[in-house]
């Protein structure tokens, strides 16, 4: 490998600079918590947002500490301030790229799936309403609830499985959502 004298000198000086580097040992407290305290089962998004908040606070604390360490007489050198600020902004961009962008993509995909599911369920509800209106004459005991899916009324159909033939289904009574087979 052919190197110029200036390149060899630069490498030699950089090795000398590294050999004089001192590392400071820092004690970092480690708290072991039970899993139930880390993950909130009732609201998984709350756990996710808490994690993002902690990561943001850690980056912010590191930035503030770097600024405070370079202060002299209450002033920060402009180049030092620019360096620390750009490092902080780069870290925030990485957090967004690695943590938030995939989450946003996943949430957008879930939104599309929910919109498709809503359209299918709306079509099914319309079909069931027309079917019920055709079958409900003066002698028909069947009534259809026009409320929400969770509402209970006499004669409400079970919308959970539309693949089952109508003859196999029975109508549920008040407060019941289960199917009974005859």
CA angle 168, 171, 172 (to 5 degrees): 125
Structure tokens at 162: 């539309």
Other CB atoms within 10 A of residue 48 CB: 15
Could you give the CA distance from residue 58 to residue 45 in angstroms, rounded to a whole number? 20
Domain ranges of the chain: 41-127
Contact 82, 70 (CB under 8 A): no
From residue 51, give the alpha-carbon distance in Å to each of 99, 127, 143. 10, 44, 49
Alpha helices in the chain (DSSP H): 5-19, 35-38, 44-69, 78-95, 101-135
Q: Which residues of 97-129 are buried (b: 16+ CB within 10 A; e: fewer)?
A: eeeeeeeeeeeeeeeeeeeeeeeeeeeeeeeee
Per-residue pLDDT of the chain (182 residues), as tens digits, is 567 787 777 777 766 655 555 677 888 888 887 766 656 666 777 777 888 899 999 999 999 999 999 888 889 899 999 999 999 999 999 998 888 888 888 889 999 999 999 999 999 999 999 999 988 655 544 454 444 454 444 444 444 444 444 444 444 444 444 444 44
Long-range contacts from 109-117, C-beta under 8 angstroms, 24+ separation: none
């Amino acid at each position: 490998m052919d190197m110029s004298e200036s390149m060899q000198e630069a490498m030699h000086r950089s090795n000398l600079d590294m050999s004089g580097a001192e590392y400071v040992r820092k004690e970092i407290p480690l708290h072991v918590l039970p899993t139930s305290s880390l993950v909130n089962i009732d609201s998984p998004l709350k756990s996710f947002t808490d994690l993002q908040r902690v990561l943001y606070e850690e980056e912010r604390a590191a930035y503030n500490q770097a600024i405070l360490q370079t202060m002299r007489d209450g002033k920060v050198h402009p180049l030092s301030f620019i360096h620390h600020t750009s490092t902080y902004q780069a870290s925030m961009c990485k957090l967004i790229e690695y943590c938030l962008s995939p989450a946003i993509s996943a949430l957008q995909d879930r939104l599309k799936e929910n919109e498709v599911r809503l359209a299918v369920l709306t079509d099914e509800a319309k079909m069931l309403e027309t079917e019920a209106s055709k079958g409900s004459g003066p002698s028909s005991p069947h009534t259809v609830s026009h409320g929400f899916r969770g509402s209970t009324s006499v004669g409400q159909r079970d919308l959970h499985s539309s693949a089952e033939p109508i003859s196999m289904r029975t109508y549920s009574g008040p407060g019941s959502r289960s199917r009974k087979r005859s």
